[in-house]
Structure 1
Amino acid sequence: HTIMGRSLLAADEVTMADVFKASGYATGVFGKWHLGDNYPFRPQDRGFDEVLVHGGGGVGQLPDTWGNDYFDDTYWHNGVPHKYTGYCTDVWFAGAMRFIEAHRDRPFFCYLPTNAPHGPYNVPEGYARPYRDDPAVPNANFYGMITNIDDNVGRLREHLRRLGLEENTILVFMTDNGTAAGVRGGKGHNAGMRGTKGSEYDGGHRVPCFVHWPAGGVGGGRDVDALAAHIDLLPTFVDLCGLKPPQADLDGASLAPLLRGRATAWPQRTLLVHSQRIEWPEKWRKSAVMTERWRLVNGKELYDIPADPGQTNNVAASQPDVVAQLRRAYETWWEHINDRFDGYCEIVLGSDRENPSRLTSHDWHTDNGPVPWNQQAVLAGLKANGFWAVCLERAGRYRFELRRWPREVDLPMRAAPDRGKALDIVEARIRIAAHSECLDVGPEDRAAVFTLSLPAGSTRLDTELIERDGTSRGAYFVYVERLT
């Protein structure tokens, strides 16, 4: 999932940054992380030396700084909030170029995942204006955001040229999913594919991937038609850069022979994707089993891609042997990945690496109930609750500050900013590690503060903010500090 505590990257997983760092590379990330906003899930905990990111999965989501809207925002720089001037994508590229210039004389790994063109679709008007009156464009702002990215990629390439790094820097451009708003109502461009972002059909997950490395013999405008996936990037970089192979089970394959045009034969592969977006993964849910020729969708529909790239003609009935073969491949894959589905990725509290910690309802576990994952939900006072899966790193006294609004808003819990709904909160409750306490909430109280002596170990943190009429919601924000 992208919320509900299911976007957190398990603490024992090896990241690409870990692998580059182990081989002496400087590492930096600029833009969207979306794998956790607390220890041990932040990018600075996962191999990155330089970090400039927004919170959560998009600007304006709950882990992000309140009020961010893509322009002149406050982002996290190496764990510290810092206010920037300019448009978000321009900020990310500027930070990346500073990082590259600072490390021009040593190997570096620069990861630049932009939040654009993610919603909300905000962009300087100058970028959207060329598309406003185009009848073929369904969303001028979305297309303008892409044009801004294009301009920034040009700035980056010119920066590499100016620094004398263009020839011997591997430059990869790709996207993370199919279009989100580029096709609507028969308008827009989707390369003839079926589906958009989140879909199990090719339009949901088939993406461009451009690789440029003149000094390494990678370039020249060649198309590589072999089936490949995101899991192939790390093995490819290990191969191309001569990195120390990680002590981990890598699912992908090195694409280096294909990129260099040296592959005399390439084995047939079966790759799999799924888009669950629920608390507990379900077998066959929004899945695709892929070979060079076939797509088995949701375990039932079969498409012959060379003959039917738009996936309009289900041929499962006439190809039972192919369906059976691809279903067997899925079963094997599922057995390989399902041993971790029942667990939680626990946010660690009380660590010297992050103390205090700021928790948000973005990471509540709700068993598929509603989740206030963005600032609009908090403004509306969404009635919902869930718990945080946490681990207290050490025994001690902990301070818990339950809030409706984050500290930067600085309003009483009963008040509301413009466009917000006021809630008549009169009581706050907390439950953690066999402790359960409640406090009255006054009209001017910004927070309900609990101080508890707690043992070390895994537990869950539950909260409630209760209105005068008995209506209960969870605390959207909780600040936790180990005192002793």
Structure 2
Amino acid sequence: MTNFLTKTWLTFFVVAAILQAVSAQQATHPNVVLIITDDQGYGDLGCTGNPHVKTPVLDRFAEENIRFTNFYVSPVCAPTRSSLMTGRYSLRTGVRDTYNGGSIMAASETTIAEMLKEEGYNTGIFGKWHLGDCYPSRPMDQGFDESLVHLSGGMGQVGDITTWFKGDSSYFDPVLWHNGKPEPYTGYCSDIFADEAIRFIESNKEKPFFCYLSFNAPHTPLQVPAKYYEMYRDIDPSSGFENDSRPFPEMSEKDKEDARKVYGMVTNIDDNIGKLLQRLDELQLSENTLVIFMTDNGPQQPRYVAGMRGRKGSVYRGGVRVPFFMRYPGMGSKEVNATTAHIDVLPTIAEICGAKLPEQRVIDGKSLFSLLTKDNYDRQERSLFFYWTRRYPELYNNMALYKGDYKLVGFTSFDAGIGDFELYNIKDDPYEQENILPKNKDIAKKLKTELDLTYRDLISSENILHQPLIEIGNKNENPIILNRNEADGERGIWAQEDVFGKWNVRVNPGKYNVTFKFVQAIEGGGTLLLETNGVVNRMDNSENTDVLEMKNVDLPGYEGELMANYFSSGKKILPFWIELEKVD
């Protein structure tokens, strides 16, 4: 009997030790769910004072968890997403635009997914990536085990070749890209992305996972299921603010209709987040899962934004201040007022998950972990740099530096004197209504000195001086499709026919079959020219068609520009997309 009891107690202690080790491992490597929405402004939530939009799930999530009230992002989406994924200002990563070839992130960057994979995490993305549609910058090339995404900056946009031609129905029954291959799906896009994210969580519940749920809604085109539109069909989004002293934007009838659709899209997202949180509870994962909710920039259209000035694309607060809520295992409700930003997310996840920060690179962000676990302290002396213009930063145009209570804003020319800038005390004037620069030029000059140093540092980044290249003829993506979102060239290149465009590429030498797709049928009697590093392949065409093919084209190995144009009736027509398949 004594021997039996001894063995029984020994077994008990061994099992207890194993369970304790497993528990410690879980505590070291909690699951991570990172949720981001697209063009949902600070004011598009009930908990931020909007009397019209219905967001009960997110309102409750904010109330019960950690609310960062002074959280900032970039003025537009691709820069925000590159900073979110890397902890670095977007210009360091090569991302300088939302298209014009400027939303391709360098493959040398280390993402949250790559960082967590080193710690044994399974990783998945569902929704919008917007950091490169071609090898080696796709999510599946940047650390994600599973990838279900649309292309370019949005569904229904020119770069997303499988939804562009669907027009006003692009958000419904889409063809999406699953692990690099097009696949048809049934339903509304936000429902699809949320359902697939939940499936991923269910499939990976036995080990640590990182789930990046990146909704493309409520970005344009504003397409919403009828059920959700009906919730707002009869409201006036400009009403309810008569006794509110904060600034409110003028809204046209179109703006009001747009707001109704946006609010429907946001309520749909709220319902989907509710489904995901409920499933975490059912799987008993909530107590070991870090959940983050944020948005990527301000609203695209005029509507309630809590009185702040500006919207998407602007460096004023309405364009860059967004909601940021976090549920951290073991912590309850807390409000954090320190100045924080998208660049802080990677180092925060690294510290919470016991992961090593990427080495041999500048990490601009700071971990928020101490703000979660200790009394809130003042971080206002940190600086944040903002800018937005097409292609590359335009010195002092839509550019700002925020430090302490003060924010210096430039909407002026490269050689402007200090008097041409704007200075705001954000603590006293959170709506940026009173330019106090005339009486505070010394403060403005100090901020401008720091702005200049930051700008010079970022604009000289290796990935800006040597832009990320699309690799053609690599076995990891063959064939490869060059789309309009990745095309460099004229500012604002989109769906135009007669426009200058090119692709910056690295070509592996060999023979290729090349297919050229045009926006609409081209006339016969023209000539197609494919130019690759000084080698020009010419083909005459006699048919009216929207597709041309060149077979067995011998392409040299090089790094540089790839250009193609069809010349007919005095017009120079850029293909809508080009597919290249290496055949030898």
Both proteins in one fold, TM over 0.5: yes
CA contact (8 A) 2:194 2:276 kept: yes
Q: Report deviation, 1:456.
A: 1.9
Return the match for 2:155 from 13, 38, 59. 59
Which has a greater percent of helix?
2
CA contact (8 A) 1:26 1:49 kept: yes
Specify the structure having the higher radius of gyration (Cα).
Answer: 2
Distance 1:135 1:426 in 2: 53
Is 2:550 aligned against 1:449? yes
User: Amino acid of the residue matched to residue 479 of structure 1?
Assistant: E
Which residue of structure 1 lines up, in the alignment, with residue 205 of structure 2? Answer: 104
Q: Report deviation, 1:425.
A: 6.6
Q: Report deviation, 1:136.
A: 2.3
Is 2:515 aligned against 1:401? yes
Structure 1, 88-97 or 427-436: larger mean CA deviation? 427-436
Q: Report deviation, 1:263.
A: 5.1
Is 2:479 aligned against 1:356? yes
CA contact (8 A) 1:365 1:387 kept: yes
Q: State percent identity of aligned pairs.
A: 37
Q: Report deviation, 1:171.
A: 0.5
Q: Report deviation, 1:62.
A: 2.4
Q: Report deviation, 1:292.
A: 3.5
Which residue of structure 1 lines up, in the alignment, with residue 444 of structure 2? Answer: 323
Return the match for 1:253 from 366, 376, 395. 366
Distance 2:493 2:230 in 1: 35
Is 2:111 aligned against 1:15? yes
Is 2:343 aligned against 1:223? no
Sort the Cα spacing of 1:210 and 1:442 in 2 relative to 1 into closer, same or farther, 3 A: same
Which residue of structure 2 lines up, in the alignment, with residue 458 of structure 1? Answer: 559
Which residue of structure 2 lines up, in the alignment, with residue 85 of structure 1? Answer: 186
Q: Report deviation, 1:75.
A: 0.2
Q: Deviations over 1:128-176 (max 9, x none)?
A: 1222221225221111111111111111110110110111110000000
Sort the Cα spacing of 1:164 and 1:383 in 2 relative to 1 into closer, same or farther, 3 A: same
Q: Deviations over 1:307-357 (max 9, x none)?
A: 111111101111112111111221221232112333322110000111110
Sort the Cα spacing of 1:342 and 1:245 in 2 relative to 1 into closer, same or farther, 3 A: closer
Superposition map of 1:417-428 within 5 A = 426-428=526-528
Distance 1:231 1:48 in 2: 20
Q: Report deviation, 1:444.
A: 5.4
Is 2:291 aligned against 1:176? no
Q: Deviations over 1:174-223 (max 9, x none)?
A: 00001122x3xxxx3111100011111000010000000233x3x31x21
Q: Deviations over 1:263-307 (max 9, x none)?
A: 5564621111111222x3222231121124111111711011121
Distance 2:274 2:525 in 1: 52
Q: Report deviation, 1:358.
A: 0.7
User: Amino acid of the residue matched to residue 384 of structure 2?
Assistant: L
Is 2:354 aligned against 1:239? no
SS of the aligned residue for 2:335 comes to coil
Return the match for 1:281 from 386, 393, 405. 393
Structure 1, 58-67 or 446-455: larger mean CA deviation? 446-455
CA contact (8 A) 1:177 1:204 kept: yes
User: Amino acid of the residue matched to residue 470 of structure 2?
Assistant: I
Structure 1, 236-245 or 266-275: larger mean CA deviation? 266-275
Sort the Cα spacing of 1:78 and 1:85 in 2 relative to 1 into closer, same or farther, 3 A: same
Superposition map of 1:15-164 within 5 A = 15-64=111-160, 65-66=162-163, 67-68=165-166, 69-137=170-238, 138=256, 139-164=259-284
Distance 2:184 2:146 in 1: 17
Return the match for 2:403 from 291, 297, 300. 291
SS of the aligned residue for 1:452 comes to strand
Distance 1:361 1:428 in 2: 18
Distance 1:28 1:425 in 2: 48
Distance 1:440 1:330 in 2: 53
SS of the aligned residue for 1:475 comes to coil
Superposition map of 1:429-444 within 5 A = 429-443=529-543
Structure 1, 40-49 or 427-436: larger mean CA deviation? 427-436
CA contact (8 A) 2:127 2:148 kept: yes
Q: Which has the higher relative contact order, 1 or 2, with Cα contacts under 8 A spaced 6 or more apart?
A: 2
CA contact (8 A) 1:55 1:62 kept: no
Q: Deviations over 1:385-421 (max 9, x none)?
A: 21100001x322222222215xxxxxx833xxxxxxx
CA contact (8 A) 2:338 2:376 kept: no
Q: Report deviation, 1:450.
A: 4.8
Which residue of structure 1 lines up, in the alignment, with residue 51 of structure 2? Answer: none
Which residue of structure 2 lines up, in the alignment, with residue 371 of structure 1? Answer: 493
Distance 1:438 1:230 in 2: 47
SS of the aligned residue for 1:81 comes to strand
Unmatched segments (≥5 aa) in structure 2:
1-96, 239-255, 412-420
Query: How well do the aligned residues superpose, as a CA RMSD in angstroms?
Result: 1.7
* TM-score of the pair, normalised by structure 2: 0.75
Distance 2:364 2:280 in 1: 32
Q: Report deviation, 1:26.
A: 0.6
Which residue of structure 2 lines up, in the alignment, with residue 270 of structure 1? Answer: 383
Distance 2:352 2:525 in 1: 58
Unmatched segments (≥5 aa) in structure 1:
406-411, 415-422
Q: Report deviation, 1:424.
A: 5.6
Structure 1, 167-176 or 132-141: larger mean CA deviation? 132-141
Q: Report deviation, 1:442.
A: 2.8
SS of the aligned residue for 2:488 comes to coil
CA contact (8 A) 2:517 2:577 kept: yes
Distance 1:92 1:353 in 2: 25
CA contact (8 A) 1:30 1:113 kept: yes
User: Amino acid of the residue matched to residue 134 of structure 1?
Assistant: I
Q: Report deviation, 1:367.
A: 4.1
User: Amino acid of the residue matched to residue 249 of structure 1?
Assistant: V
